[in-house]
Amino acid sequence: MTHDTETFGSMSPYCTITFKGKKLKTKVHDSGGKTPKWADRFQLDVESPTEEMILRVWDQDLTTSDPVGFCKIKMSSLIINNGTDDWHMIYYDNKPAGEIRIVSEFAPEGGDAYANMKSEFDAQEAQLR
């Protein structure tokens, strides 16, 4: 991350994910600074590849949390090829504030759920054009 909220010392960052009105939170990486690592795993119930999640990175202080950056991520970018391992740019005040790596795994229920979801997504995109 390039945005640092601390003048002295290291940031203690954590992430929140907002998806379909639910909020998930990683553990705080104490003194993680600009290069924190998390091993938290979350399971999201994806109904459509057009859905988005909002990922926010925060720095936890004694009484408050300061924003470090955020990004919106379409589910389509996480479910392609049954999962991805990719970097996503986070922004603070509409300026790049660093990147966050997300590893996803897409395990659809039912035999052809992904094919149905993809064709539904393609049909929706065709309508938009």
The share of the chain scoring above pLDDT 90, in percent, equals 59
Dist CA 91 CA 115 (whole Å): 33
From the list 71, 14, 8, 54, the residue with the least C-alpha distance to 37 is 14
Whether residue 118 is contained in a domain is answered as yes
Number of folded domains in the chain? 1
What's the domain range around 53? 13-128
CATH number for the domain that contains residue 66? 2.60.40.150
What's the DSSP call for residue 81?
G
pLDDT digits (tens, 9 = 90+) for 51-100: 999 999 999 988 899 999 999 999 999 998 889 999 999 999 999 999 99
pLDDT digits (tens, 9 = 90+) for 13-31: 999 999 999 999 999 988 7
Whether residue 97 is contained in a domain is answered as yes
Average pLDDT value for the chain: 87
Dist CA 22 CA 25 (whole Å): 10
The share of the chain scoring above pLDDT 70, in percent, equals 89
Whether residue 3 is contained in a domain is answered as no
